[in-house]
Structure 1
Amino acid sequence: MGEVWGGRDTVLDREVAVKFIRPRDDVRGEDLIRRFDREARVTARLVHPGVPAVHDFGVHEGRPYLVMQRIRGVSVADVIAEQGSLPLGWAAAIAAQTCAVLSVAHRASLVHRDLKPSNLMLEPDGGVKVLDFGLAAALDLPDFSRITQTGESFGTLPYMAPEQIEAAQSDARTDLYALGCTLYEMLTGEQLFAGATPYVVMRKQLDGWTRPFRAARAEIPAALEELLRDLLRRKPEERPADADAVYERLLPFATDLGPLPGVVETSARPSPLRMYADVVSRILMPASTPPRPGPPPVVPAGGDAGGEPEMEGSGAKERGVVRDSSMPLSRNDLDLVRREARRLVAQSRHRQAADVLGNVIEPAIRSLGPLDDDVISLRMQFADVLFNGGDYRRAAPAYQRLAADLGKRPGIPPERAFDCRRQAAACHALIGQTSLALRQLEELLRDERGQFGDDHERVVELRRQIGLLRPSAENR
């Protein structure tokens, strides 16, 4: 997919890693740059010790690149190649740290899709960095109908879940399946699914694993074997609910974490990272005496990438956009806000544009009403900015509310409400809620057939999209 070079930031005098993306022959340069730019911004929002910091993004001679934090360490794949199976405690500790990263990423609607030992970097202090977040997703298409046409699979075959192989679909539980494959490899020193040809590997994955895991390593505890089996369930809905649940099940096994020769060595000086983590782990723990009174917690501007998705119009207030929402809003104000949002979008600053628009939606509705032409245009622009910026969780309810309100207003062509419903379904498909997306599209098909007839081009295209999505939903 790309190549990584060591570099130096000459402005701030620091070492960095520069990752170039290798374009595919079937992807136009501008498409690759646009998709990669969007995913780079999503990845940059993931602020977590287990995610390398993104410093910059650019294009050099037509090739997009990321400037990232340079990581010192060894990939887990190299550790396995050199040492074979890892101590049980270390395998659980690496997997648990990976779960912590997946937790914050999944809450931000970002799925890795290519989790594997070579994308886990073990640092000298024992910390784990998860690499290449969003890069596989960056090669996907933002347009729903084109996404479902491609039938492309992103990932590395031995770690791909059945739904990736069969329908090129993935969600948070797809990452958990790959984590199960990785955990097995750390425990045994061998790939779970291997074969002479890709077809043999795929057949094994689709058939599922049937032998006891402890046949490969007798000292694997029964509870850890059960967790492995749950992670590797063929149907996504039968896997653990989320990365948080897997973390809790791994934690009891993350013990006896002695040195790993050549990777994690003993040192006379304590690790600053472990010093920091030790204190953080004690926060909100039960104590024998009450804590000293202190100032209330401060929520930083910009929010937490791992928080709950914000409802339409709510995001910008917490981020400190300074307009007084209690003041009446004029049409001239609305025009200025929409122009500013367009300027930000032209600079690929979708999150800031959504903040600007979201901060005035409620005042606009109070001043002009939810069905006013200018307010509808504002809300549509807000939903489109969220969608094009990759924030599908917030875009979906924005489109759904628009569709409901457009259906109430006489004189508006039904296509506008139908388009919003289609976009909402696309959002749900893109965050892995394919069964919900399929139900929404089938309901939409019923209404569009009643409006336009069976042979209308909209109806034909919608039937085709449903046919492309149905295999993935049926496998869940």
Structure 2
Amino acid sequence: MGEVWPAQDTLLDRPVIVKFVSAAAMNIELARRFRREALLTARLDHPGVPAVYDLGEQDGQPYVVLQKINGVTLADLVAEQGRLPIGWVAAIGAQVSSILLAAQQIGLVHRDIKPSNVMLDRNGAVKVLDFGLAVIRDDERYSRITQTEQSLGTVGYMAPEQIFGDAVDHRTDLYGLGATLFDLLTGHPPFDGVTTTTTLRHQMDDPPPHPTDLRPDVPAVLDDLIHTMLAIHPHDRPDTAAEVYAALAPLAQDLPPIPGVADDLTGSVPAYAAIVGRVPQQARPVVTSTIDPLQLDVEQASKQAEQLHAAGEFRAAARQWRQLADHHARSHGDSHPLVFDLRLRAARAHVPLGEHDRALRQLKSLMHSRAQVDGPEHFAVVELRQEIERLSKERPSPRERARHVPDVDH
């Protein structure tokens, strides 16, 4: 429906992209949507979004002049390179997270985050493209595209609430980002059926996949993050893109050259750092100090996590307990009783968040690990088994959770 041309801005002497609505497809509705996309792209002021230089009309054809990106889409990158190094996946994901956080601050939901809508520049920076399906909550000019409540998005990457035609929010884009990161890590989309119907059935009826099923070397923190981002119910996903960024940024290191794409980053800003400075702070107040828990002794840091939990900051408490467990395990091993206790506290912290699937998965892993050390009849193993059975009965079914998405779009 459109034409995209490389061009040269003769006034400012810079390369640009000029995008037209093709004359053959031209109609009033398409022209409206074209203008709407340009305005939404310009509305999101972030270096991870292509700059809009001009919007106008020539001989009855609308056009937009955009920043030219010297790079490749992630879809083409995976097709050419196969699965990407873990550091690069984290670097790309951290950048996209910062863009989604900026979008969340103005109520914008992209609704079509997928590998073909993200480009990697040759300097390692990322750009999110194609805001044709985006909406801005509480702004009637950009709250909807069509007059009917039809599902919009890309099968395999669109969140369940999009499939049902329900309300969307920023967590809808986290689902698309999770599916994209799964694709980058494994070389395969997370849900891939022979037909559209079978793909949708996998999305709605099967538990979210783990990248480690296809790539065992994926770090546990990254595997858990992506699995959680692909949760059927939005409440089971991370609260904000800031949480996703915080988990990914530390993993964005040891970035090897990508032949033909990012051959030499020497002397340039290493990948994700190109956007790091533009990550907005979370709007939610911080309950305690921002001291690194690993700089405290275990007793102090655990007490700090308990204070977070008591204040209702369950996710922050879970993260701190996990960090402590990982830190202690490096010195004393995974089977140490304190490591077990810290991981158990972290798992239980997800229950009041309604993240039953995540809590159950972590509890089951702890139960199996403890059973291997102390035997299946050890009192701690028996108690965990009973807790898992009780929690399994309490959780709603996946379809029930998907059908009860809060109406936050209007």
Q: Per the alignment, in what secondary structure is the counterpart of residue 56 of structure 2?
A: strand
User: Which of residues 143, 148, 163 is equivalent to 1:165?
Assistant: 163
- Look up the match of 1:5: 5
User: Which of residues 252, 255, 272 is equivalent to 2:253?
Assistant: 255
- Look up the match of 2:14: 14
Paired with 1:175 and 1:159, the residues of 2 have a C-alpha distance of 9
Q: CA deviation at 1:29?
A: 3.4
Paired with 2:151 and 2:265, the residues of 1 have a C-alpha distance of 44
1:333-412 equivalent positions in 2, closer than 5 A: none
Whether 1:474 and 2:404 are equivalent positions in the alignment is yes
1:421-432 equivalent positions in 2, closer than 5 A: none
User: Which of residues 161, 180, 183 is equivalent to 1:182?
Assistant: 180
- Does the C-alpha gap of structure 1 residues 184 and 39 become closer, same or farther in structure 2, counting only changes over 3 Å? same
1:212-361 equivalent positions in 2, closer than 5 A: 212-266=210-264, 270-271=267-268, 273=269
Residue pair 1:75, 1:118 contacting (<8 A) in 2 also: yes
How does the TM-score come out when normalised to structure 1? 0.54
- Does the C-alpha gap of structure 1 residues 123 and 22 become closer, same or farther in structure 2, counting only changes over 3 Å? same
Q: Per the alignment, in what secondary structure is the counterpart of residue 6 of structure 2?
A: strand
- Does the C-alpha gap of structure 1 residues 151 and 10 become closer, same or farther in structure 2, counting only changes over 3 Å? same
Matched residue type, 1:170: V
Pairwise CA RMSD: 3.6
Matched residue type, 2:235: E
- Look up the match of 2:132: 135
Share of identical aligned residues, percent?
A: 48
- Does the C-alpha gap of structure 1 residues 473 and 56 become closer, same or farther in structure 2, counting only changes over 3 Å? farther
Q: CA deviation at 1:206?
A: 1.2
- Look up the match of 1:67: 65
Matched residue type, 2:10: T
- Look up the match of 1:92: 90
Matched residue type, 1:135: G
User: Which of residues 196, 203, 214 is equivalent to 1:198?
Assistant: 196
1:331-376 CA-partner distances (Å, limit 9, x unpaired): xxxxxxxxxxxxxxxxxxxxxxxxxxxxxxxxxxxxxxxxxxxxxx
Residue pair 1:169, 1:472 contacting (<8 A) in 2 also: no
Residue pair 1:108, 1:305 contacting (<8 A) in 2 also: no
How does the TM-score come out when normalised to structure 2? 0.62
Residue pair 2:106, 2:136 contacting (<8 A) in 1 also: no
Residue pair 1:159, 1:181 contacting (<8 A) in 2 also: yes
- Look up the match of 1:76: 74
Q: How many residue pairs get matched?
A: 288
Paired with 1:158 and 1:230, the residues of 2 have a C-alpha distance of 16
- Does the C-alpha gap of structure 1 residues 275 and 114 become closer, same or farther in structure 2, counting only changes over 3 Å? closer
Residue pair 1:152, 1:168 contacting (<8 A) in 2 also: no
- Look up the match of 1:443: none
Q: Per residue, is there more helix in 1 or in 2?
A: 1
Residue pair 1:73, 1:124 contacting (<8 A) in 2 also: yes
Paired with 2:92 and 2:174, the residues of 1 have a C-alpha distance of 14
- Look up the match of 1:123: 121
Consecutive unaligned residues in structure 2, runs of 5 or more: 284-400
Q: Per the alignment, in what secondary structure is the counterpart of residue 157 of structure 1?
A: coil
Paired with 2:270 and 2:4, the residues of 1 have a C-alpha distance of 28
1:297-320 CA-partner distances (Å, limit 9, x unpaired): xxxxxxx99998xxxxxxxxxxxx
